[in-house]
Amino acid sequence: MNIIVFAENQDGVFKKSSFEAVSYASQIAAQHGSQVTAVSIGNVAAEKLADLGTYGADVVLQYNSDIFSQFTGEAYSKALAHASKHKGADLIIISNTYSGKMIAPRVAAKLNAGMVSGVISMPDTSNGFKVKRSVFSGKSFADVSINTSVKVISITPNSFSIVENQKAASVETMDAGLTTTDINTQTVEVARATGKIPLTEAELVVSGGRGMKGPENWHLIETLADTLGAATACSKPVSDIHWRPHSEHVGQTGITIKPNLYIAIGISGAIQHLAGVSSSKVIVAINKDPEAPFFKAADYGIVGDAFEVLPKIIEAAKALKSA
């Protein structure tokens, strides 16, 4: 089995989800005695490219030209399809990030490949090729078989561990032969979320809902997040009424996250919210209503007024940290 994995970077630094994807690919390769080729697109320093060998990449193909300086689904998917054809890949693995969501279906179409998105299991290859994905906003699972000879899967970020499997990855410079006439769209402006820790990469997340009453109270969420080294998130209504930026909105229509710890404060726990956070490893809900639905999804619950509970938790977290 010839495996290609897309290693996404931001400003020349590989994302955590890229190391997860390379580790995932490396484990499949180990089962099948095959090689992993990682594909890097855009400007990444040579030593960083070689870092992909730490997680099991045997070869790194680098596409770096002006056309890749800004992300476009068109250019990146063309490069990835080029790499896949170059290597005669049977399996293309992409992380299901925002960029991955734009690339994966395009690559599948270019390669006439069957595709499954949001994969949360290693493939079962005992009889064909079957993977598990979550469906109905995380309420259920579907086992999906891909029957085409070339297969594309996008794996859910934070679903697989980063595993070291040191290889001396060789780096090859590639040229997909793309010019500006091949690309119909252009990124005009990039507005970056300014949070200290990117939500999608965060291991710990402190999140607030309408129960926080107003943006003037968010210093409590931010102080707890700062103390714990966590990212901040919020429910949809909170971003809709501009208490917080949309980049913090988690849920069915927002970002899906899977941190080790999700602390939900003054959030009811509507199904649409849970769709984006229910895969968190540990969930703590703080709500003054003992009947709040979040308590059914939470591992730990505190029934109480956020404005009384939060200062105590912050104090305890600070004391723990200084000890």
Ligand X SMILES: Cc1cc2nc3c(=O)[nH]c(=O)nc-3n(C[C@H](O)[C@H](O)[C@H](O)COP(=O)(O)OP(=O)(O)OC[C@H]3O[C@@H](n4cnc5c(N)ncnc54)[C@H](O)[C@@H]3O)c2cc1C
Note the residues at the interface with ligand X (CB under 6 A): 209-211, 235-238, 251-254, 266-268, 270, 272-273, 276, 286-289, 292, 305-307
Q: Tell the smallest beta-carbon distance from residue 304 to ligand X (Å).
A: 7
**Separation of alpha carbons 154 and 236, rounded Å:** 26
Q: Tell the smallest beta-carbon distance from residue 3 to ligand X (Å).
A: 33
Cβ neighbours, 10 Å, residue 166: 9
Token representation of residue 227: 């103390």
**Cβ neighbourhood burial of 257 (10 Å; 0-12, 13-18, 19+):** buried
CB 89 within 8 A of CB 62: no
Q: Tell the smallest beta-carbon distance from residue 271 to ligand X (Å).
A: 7
- The helix/strand/coil state of 91 is strand
- What's the first-to-final CA gap in the chain, in angstroms? 51
For ligand X, which is the closer residue by CB, 227 or 235? 235
Q: Tell the smallest beta-carbon distance from residue 133 to ligand X (Å).
A: 19
For ligand X, which is the closer residue by CB, 130 or 288? 288
Contacting residues for 126 by C-beta, under 8 A, at least 6 apart: none
Maximal CA-CA distance, the chain? 61
For ligand X, which is the closer residue by CB, 258 or 273? 273
Alpha carbon of residue 249 to chain centroid? 15
For ligand X, which is the closer residue by CB, 69 or 253? 253
Q: Tell the smallest beta-carbon distance from residue 302 to ligand X (Å).
A: 9
Question: Taking the CA of residue 305 as centre, how many other CA atoms within 13 Å lie in the half-sphere pointing to its CB?
Answer: 3
Q: Tell the smallest beta-carbon distance from residue 204 to ligand X (Å).
A: 19
For ligand X, which is the closer residue by CB, 76 or 262? 262
For ligand X, which is the closer residue by CB, 47 or 308? 308
**CB-based closest residue to ligand X:** 251
